[in-house]
């Protein structure tokens, strides 16, 4: 997964569950009852992200440049007070280039997820579960005189992920501060595959064994929000991220199947800082728009991403 990329890109990203309750001008003065709040929300999101992962000298692995672009859509149900339940579908294109022109990868990703959030006064608990499938193509070139070989691979990966988050919002007039903690668990299973060569007989093609990697990511930080006198809310986040996920693969040369060895990929850094800033605009009682930007920084990693979401309440 890309640094800073949302593993579960579903669910509301407004500061609170109350953000979608409509406001009727003059209702309090006239003592007119408020209309019932909408029970459903339909939403669509566009996401873009770019990341730079530096080389890892301890593994002798090169750096990596990655880009991601995707869309998702889904539905929320809000028929129970202080509770949101929903599901979503999404797709993305991910590309990665090893530095020094050592190879590249492109992936088509499909994701389906369910999520929920429950408020208990000032406290909340949110959870999400998702399944993703990535169909990838790898390309690399080996040039050892007199051999010049181009090698392609087509790995397929199934990813299961879950996130649990809890926090408590402290209100200060129109503003709020919400300390929170979150844990995310991911399990990725990649099928065995063989590289194919542009030559009749491969000299450097590799066969990769199937593998399953499990990683844990935790966040500890605070969210911030402030509402204007109108229908505009600004929100942000500052958090410390700790993640434990190693990148390894077991391979063998197709020309000599007894030569089994382990490839160490470039690991994500254990510690990183996560920063977010965004705003939500309630256009009217039925429509609202949210835009946000996230960046994740560490000693050898930087990423920046943006997300825009349009919601219709009914």
Burial tier of 72 (Cβ tally within 10 Å: 0-12, 13-18, 19+): buried
State yes or no: pLDDT of 63 exceeds 60. yes
Phi, psi at residue 30, to the nearest 5°? -90, 0
Burial tier of 70 (Cβ tally within 10 Å: 0-12, 13-18, 19+): buried
| 0.85 exceeded by pTM | no
Q: With the C-alpha atoms ordered 4, 302, 47, 276, is the resulting torsion angle positive or negative?
A: positive
Which tokens is 303 given?
């990423």
- The three-state secondary structure class of 28 is helix
Q: What pLDDT shows up at residue 32?
A: 54
How would residue 249 be classed by pLDDT, with cut points 50, 70 and 90? low
Beta carbons within 8 Å of 131's beta carbon, 6+ residues apart: 111, 112, 113, 158, 159, 160
Give the mean pLDDT of 299-310: 91
Each residue of 33-60: pLDDT tens digit? 656 677 999 999 999 999 988 755 555 5
> In whole angstroms, how far apart are CA 201 and each of 110, 151, 306?
34, 11, 45
Each residue of 203-232: pLDDT tens digit? 788 888 898 988 899 999 999 999 987 789
Cα gap 149→4, rounded to integer Å: 35
Closest CA to 116 of 177, 166, 72, 174: 166
Closest CA to 27 of 36, 17, 40: 36
User: Mean pLDDT over all residues of the chain?
Assistant: 83
Q: What pLDDT shows up at residue 209?
A: 87
Strand partners, 56: 61
Contact between residue 106 and residue 92 where contact means Cβ atoms under 8 Å apart? no
For 178, other C-beta atoms within 10 Å of its C-beta total: 21
Strand partners, 137: 106
175-190 vs 147-153, strand pairing mode:
unpaired
Each residue of 114-139: pLDDT tens digit? 999 999 999 999 999 999 999 999 99
Closest CA to 225 of 169, 182, 275: 169
Cα gap 263→251, rounded to integer Å: 7
- The three-state secondary structure class of 140 is strand
> In whole angstroms, how far apart are CA 66 and each of 71, 118, 125, 303?
17, 35, 32, 9
């Amino acid at each position: 997964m890309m640094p800073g990329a949302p593993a579960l890109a579903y669910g509301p990203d407004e500061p609170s569950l109350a953000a979608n309750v409509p406001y009727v001008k003059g209702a309090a003065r006239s003592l007119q009852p408020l209309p019932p709040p909408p029970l459903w929300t339909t939403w669509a999101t566009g996401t873009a992200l770019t990341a730079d992962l530096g080389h890892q000298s301890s593994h002798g692995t090169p750096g990596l440049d990655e880009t991601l672009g995707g869309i998702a859509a889904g539905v929320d149900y809000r028929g129970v007070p202080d509770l949101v339940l929903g599901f979503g579908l999404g797709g993305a294109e991910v590309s990665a280039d090893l530095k020094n022109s050592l190879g590249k990868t492109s992936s088509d990703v499909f994701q389906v997820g369910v999520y929920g959030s429950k408020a208990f006064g000032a406290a909340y608990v949110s959870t999400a579960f998702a399944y993703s499938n990535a169909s990838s193509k790898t390309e690399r070139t080996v040039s050892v005189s007199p051999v010049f070989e181009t090698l392609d691979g087509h790995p397929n990966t199934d990813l299961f992920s879950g996130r649990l988050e809890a926090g408590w919002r402290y209100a200060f007039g129109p503003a709020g501060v919400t300390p929170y903690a979150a844990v995310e668990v991911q399990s990725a299973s990649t099928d065995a595959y063989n590289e194919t060569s542009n030559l009749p007989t491969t000299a450097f093609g590799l066969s990769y064994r199937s593998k399953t990697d499990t990683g844990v990511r935790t966040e500890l930080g605070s969210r911030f929000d402030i509402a204007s006198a109108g229908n505009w809310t600004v929100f942000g986040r500052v958090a410390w991220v700790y993640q434990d996920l190693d990148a390894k693969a077991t391979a063998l040369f197709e020309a000599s199947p007894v030569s089994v060895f382990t490839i160490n990929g470039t690991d994500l850094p254990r510690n990183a800082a996560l920063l977010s800033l965004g705003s939500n605009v309630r256009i009217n009682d039925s429509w609202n728009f949210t835009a946000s930007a996230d960046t994740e920084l560490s000693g050898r990693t930087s990423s920046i991403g943006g997300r825009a979401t349009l919601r219709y309440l009914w």
